[in-house]
Every structure is written in C-alpha cells, then in structure tokens.
C-alpha cells in the first residue's frame, strides 16, 4: 500500500540524508512517459526559476492575529507595496463546490474553502500598501450577485469592503460578465492539452493577480493550492457541461475531466495529444496549461485549518487537519512545492505516486520552465520546513 512521506523521512531529506523511501505506485493513470502520443517537449526542469517561499505559524483565523502573520510572510518575500501601489489588484479565492455544505460540523470556509477573515486581512493589507482597486473573483454556480451568495454563507461582506478602504468589489467570472468579449490567454509552450483559454476580461484588465487558496489534497490533481486554484478561472459559460451558455451554472467535468465534450466554436480547441481520457491525467495537465496561460503574481496559502484526503466535503475518507500555517510566494510552482512538502509528500514524486494519483502538475510546470519543484533550489524563509511538516494521510482513490 502506498504511503506519504513521514515526518522523519522529510527531516532526513532536509538534512541531506539518502532521500525519500520508495513509495508504491497507484495504478490509476498512465505516466507522461508511457502515455501514447504524448507531446515531447524539451525538459527545462534544471533551469526552471526559483523564488523564495515564506512560512509562519498561525494558530487561528482571529483577524488581528492573521493580519500580523500575513504581514510577516509578505515582508519576508519583499512586501507588496511595490507590487500593488496605485494598481488594480484581483484576488482569486477558492470557493470550490456546487454546494457549500458544512464539513465536520464546521462551515465550508473553515475547512475546504477560503476563509472570509483571510480575505478581509488581505484587503486591508492591499489597501494599506496603496492598491487603487481590489477585485475579489470566483466562478460561482448561482445566478445572483456574489455578495448575496457570500452573505448567505456567513461572510461579512460589509466588513471585507471596509477592511479594504471601500475599494473592494466582487465579480463573478463564470461568464463574460461586464466585458464585451472574453480575453484569450495562450499557453507559452503550446499546451499539454489546450493551447489557449478564453477567460473573463477581468483576468486581463488587472495589474496584479493574487491567488488566495487552501492547503489541501485533490482527488484528481493530487494537491490543490495556487496552481489548481486557477482551474476555477475558466468560465463555465465556455467550458461547463452546459456550455456554450452565458448563464451556465454547471461545472466542467465533461470537458476537462472526461474529455467527452468539445469547446464551443471559436474557442481554442483541444490539441491532438494522444493522452488517455482519465481525470488523473487530464486535470493536472489542464491545470498546468491554465496556470501557464495566466500565472499569478502572488500566491497566499492558508494552512491554518483544512482537510486531508480530498478537496471538499464530497470526497470519501477525508479528515480534519490543523497544520496552523500560512505560506506565501511569488512563484506558484515553488510555493506549491513547499506546500506539498509541508503535507509530508515529495513535490518531485513521479507521476502516479502519492500524492499524485496521476500526473504531477508541479513536475509538468517545472519541465516547461515555469518554476522549480526541487526543494534543494527553493529558499524557505521564516518558519523552517522541518518545523512545519504536518503529514497528511494517504488519499482515497475517489474522484472529485
């Protein structure tokens, strides 16, 4: 039975011992090497860029405490004033799921979704740093203003707007919205599965893009932090099960997970890649394509309280976890690599080994030069990794 990296094994790696113990292979997906017809691209892993990742211990979502810890992790990577001053800043939150049911008796935002206190603290920090405008975006599955959806779910929307100096607005990016056309973003290496994506115009009409996500595993992608959070940037109106439809309120499983549905006419079509139609192959590769097409300028990952074994309440075998951590970085691959190590897994694990039931999106993005997932090349500032490792139990093989 495959197992995750234990705390002792991770510490051995950190001090330069022999490395990780061998792990079993999950027979859920073909690796990129064995997938018939997979495109062969030059491997740029050795020269992929590296950027520091900051970590702080954060005991709770208490607003004042979280703000202090947020300021600390941001200061450790150079602060945000130069990044956001006099600029429009867009924050992509992670509100996964078509039903926001409680989990372990706690609200969705305390377990598997972005917490409103983290949004308020980030908006306050951006306001204090001189941001001109702050836009909170997500792909919602309800035909109503985001403020209504969030308020009904227990968010204090007025407090968030106040924290941001009343510069904060909320936008639903599930369709074209306020923009006359979609904005096209090309994948710089040509794509693993898609060569480009059409997104809501907000992802173009912004100066700075920030991902605010949770520290979690994922039933198809293995892990879901900064990179997988951008999966939700793709509008359901074009990629959802009911697409093309501007009022689409359904997820993207038929097109992205299963490959059973084609994009609408005029939208960049799927490549002739020869890869199997398996979610554990497709989702990590499509997530990589999306992130490559529209990378973020800053990633912040909330690991205060979360779940293991999946990304939401719908996954079987999940458990409540309290790593009590906050992480931030400018390169999403580097940041997610450290997050993966925090969970007790190897961010360079081969395709098909825990936590990756299929393809390893971190290695895919490293191979095309977006960022390194080699811990030896990533500077970790603040809390040392050896003090932060909080092993997550092995994932179930459920599909999410």
Give the pLDDT confidence of 20-54 residue by residue, as tens digits. 323 333 333 344 444 445 668 999 999 999 999 99
Dihedrals φ, ψ of 324, to 5°?
60, 55
Q: Hey, how many other C-beta atoms are within 10 angstroms of the C-beta on 262?
A: 12
Spatial CB neighbours of 32, under 8 Å, sequence gap ≥ 6: 38, 351, 359, 364
Is residue 393 very low, low, confident or very high in pLDDT (cuts 50, 70, 90)? Answer: confident
- Residue 399's pLDDT is 39
The label of the residue with tokens 């977006």 reads: 370
Higher pLDDT, 9 or 183: 183
- Residue 136's pLDDT is 98
- Residue 394's pLDDT is 57
Give the pLDDT confidence of 146-159 residue by residue, as tens digits. 999 999 999 999 99
Query: In what helix (H) or strand (E) does residue 120 lie, and over which residues does it extend?
Result: helix 116-128
Dihedrals φ, ψ of 168, to 5°?
-95, 130
Spatial CB neighbours of 22, under 8 Å, sequence gap ≥ 6: none
Give the pLDDT confidence of 260-288 residue by residue, as tens digits. 999 999 999 999 999 999 999 999 999 99
- Residue 2's pLDDT is 34
Which pair of tokens denotes residue 262?
Answer: 């084609």
To the nearest 10 degrees (0 to 180), the angle between helices 116-128 and 63-76 is 50
The label of the residue with tokens 């993207």 reads: 252
**For residues 296-314, average pLDDT:** 96
**For residues 169-191, average pLDDT:** 97
Instruction: Say how many CA atoms lie within 13 Å of 367 toward its Cβ.
Output: 21
pLDDT score of 218 more than 60: yes
pLDDT score of 253 more than 70: yes
Length of the chain: 400
Do the beta carbons of residue 351 and residue 399 sit within 8 Å?
no
Average pLDDT, the chain: 90
CA distance 230 to 365: 14
Give the pLDDT confidence of 49-58 residue by residue, as tens digits. 999 999 999 9
Candidate from 218-222, 257-261, 287-291, 313-317 with smallest mean pLDDT: 313-317
CA distance 258 to 230: 19
DSSP 103: B
What angle (nearest 5°) sits at the alpha carbon of residue 347, between those of residues 186 and 341? 125
CA distance 196 to 190: 8
CA distance 106 to 152: 15
**For residues 97-108, average pLDDT:** 93
């Amino acid at each position: 039975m495959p197992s995750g990296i234990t705390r002792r094994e991770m510490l051995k790696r950190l001090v330069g011992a022999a490395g990780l113990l061998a792990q079993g292979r999950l027979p859920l997906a073909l690796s990129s090497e064995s997938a018939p017809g997979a495109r062969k691209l030059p491997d740029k892993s050795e020269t992929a860029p590296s950027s520091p990742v900051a970590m702080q211990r954060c005991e709770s979502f208490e607003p004042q405490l979280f703000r202090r810890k947020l300021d600390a992790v941001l200061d450790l990577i150079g602060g945000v004033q130069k990044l956001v001053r006099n600029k429009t800043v867009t924050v992509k939150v992670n509100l996964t799921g078509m039903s926001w049911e409680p989990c372990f008796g706690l609200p969705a935002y305390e377990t598997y979704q972005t917490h409103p206190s983290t949004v308020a603290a980030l908006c306050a920090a951006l306001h204090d740093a001189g941001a001109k405008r702050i836009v909170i975006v997500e792909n919602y599955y309800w035909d109503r203003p985001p403020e209504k959806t969030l308020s009904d779910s227990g968010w204090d929307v007025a407090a968030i707007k106040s924290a941001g100096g009343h510069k904060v607005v909320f936008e639903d990016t599930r369709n074209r919205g306020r923009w006359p056309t979609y904005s096209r973003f090309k994948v710089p290496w040509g794509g693993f599965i898609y060569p480009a994506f059409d997104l809501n115009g907000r992802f173009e009409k912004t100066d700075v893009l920030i991902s605010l996500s949770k520290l979690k595993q994922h039933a198809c992608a293995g892990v879901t932090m900064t990179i997988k959070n951008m999966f939700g940037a793709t509008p359901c109106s074009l990629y959802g099960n009911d697409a093309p439809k501007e009022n689409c309120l359904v997820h993207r499983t038929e097109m992205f997970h299963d490959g059973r549905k084609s994009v609408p006419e005029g939208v960049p079509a799927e490549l002739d890649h020869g890869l199997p139609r398996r979610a554990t192959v497709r989702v990590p590769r499509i997530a990589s394509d999306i992130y490559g097409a529209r990378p973020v300028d800053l990633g912040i990952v909330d690991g205060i309280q979360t779940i293991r074994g999946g990304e939401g309440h719908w996954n079987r075998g999940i458990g409540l976890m309290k790593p009590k951590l906050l992480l931030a970085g400018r390169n999403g691959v580097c940041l997610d690599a450290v997050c993966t190590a925090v969970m007790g897994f190897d961010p360079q694990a081969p395709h098909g080994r825990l936590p990756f039931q299929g393809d390893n999106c971190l290695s895919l993005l490293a191979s095309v030069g977006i960022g390194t997932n080699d811990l030896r090349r990533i500077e970790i500032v603040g809390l040392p990794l050896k003090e932060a490792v909080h092993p997550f139990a092995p994932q179930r093989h459920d599909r999410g």
